[in-house]
Amino acid sequence: MRGRNSVYYKTSEEIEILRENCLLVCKTHALVASLLKPGVNPLDIDKKAEEFIRDHNAKPGFKGYRGFPATLCFSPNAVVVHGIPSNVEVKTGDIVSVDCGVEANGFFGDAAYTFIVGEVDDSVRRLCQVTRESLYRGINKAVVGNRLGDISHAIQDYAEKENGYGIVRELVGHGIGKSLHEPPDVPNFGKKGRGILLKEGLVLAIEPMVNLGKRHVQQLNDGWTIITSDRKPSAHYEHSIAITQSGPDILSDHSIIEEEIKKNPELSEI
Ligand code: MG
Ligand code: MG
């Protein structure tokens, strides 16, 4: 019997559905990458993302989730996550963290990417590089026989100890499957050798949120937007991954997004 708080391990067929959904998420991010430029209205991008997802026989995974009003979380600069797209235009020098989910065939998909619009200070580019690398450091520990804390520790160790950034504590990664957020929580901080044993069929959304300054965050009065307390920039990269006997299987694919970034002269590569 499966209790409310127990982990749901996926079959290989279910993992293939999740992969298909995660690829649609990344194609939606690629569409965002083709549209992002100074002066663009985030509400227009959100509308096009929703149409794109629906044209692919899927539903936006976030719209309506606990009342969230949009298809994308659109989080510029000091906004960490859960920004609501508004008609505040994108500017050159912004970094924009975009998070997207979809639902199709009874399962979700989830991935996030931080885009650089125009040119930014080296310190901000480095924040993006380190955040993305911390995600891969975590994924590398997502192997059968390790524990959840090995993933968390690898992320924290790289971003905080090696690079001196602030890891957000209040928001964490999660299991993903028939629900957008399933057990277990996947913190981006923790101790090696702690937490549940990683087994084949566990599917996790791993998503470090890393601040240039201090780790502390606040929620705005809209009930969603999470922003750094010191108003310094924050970055966010997310993959959904499956744990298999042959190692971590990354279901989402950032290369689809990065190909589109290369084609858009208004964006910089990380
Ligand atoms: Mg996400
Ligand atoms: Mg997520």
For residue range 66-94, list pLDDT tens digits in order.
999 999 999 999 999 999 999 999 999 99
Distance between Cα 12 and ligand 2 center (Å): 21
Q: Could you tell me which residues come within 8 angstroms of residue 106 by beta carbon, excluding any fewer than 6 positions away?
A: 17, 178
Distance between Cα 205 and ligand 2 center (Å): 5
Distance between Cα 186 and ligand 2 center (Å): 10
Q: Could you tell me which residues come within 8 angstroms of residue 121 by beta carbon, excluding any fewer than 6 positions away?
A: none
Q: Could you tell me which residues come within 8 angstroms of residue 239 by beta carbon, excluding any fewer than 6 positions away?
A: 111, 135, 139, 205, 206, 207, 250, 251, 252, 254
| Residue 114 parent element (H or E) | strand 107-117
pLDDT tens digits for 92-135? 999 999 999 999 999 999 999 999 999 999 999 999 999 999 99
pTM of the model: 0.97
| Nearest ligand, measured from the Cα of 186 | 2
pLDDT tens digits for 151-197? 999 999 999 999 999 999 999 999 999 999 999 999 999 999 999 99
Give Cα 205 distance to the centre of its chain.
8
| Nearest ligand, measured from the Cα of 176 | 2
Distance between Cα 198 and ligand 2 center (Å): 19
Whether domain 4-202+210-232+251-268 has CATH 3.40.1190.20: no
Distance between Cα 153 and ligand 1 center (Å): 20
Task: Please report the pLDDT score of residue 1 as a whole number.
Answer: 45
pLDDT above 70 covers what percent of the chain? 99
Q: Which two tokens stand for residue 128?
A: 């993006």
Q: Domain map of the chain by residue range?
A: 4-202+210-232+251-268
Distance between Cα 241 and ligand 2 center (Å): 11
- The closest of 211, 223, 168, 174 to 61, measured between CA atoms, is 174
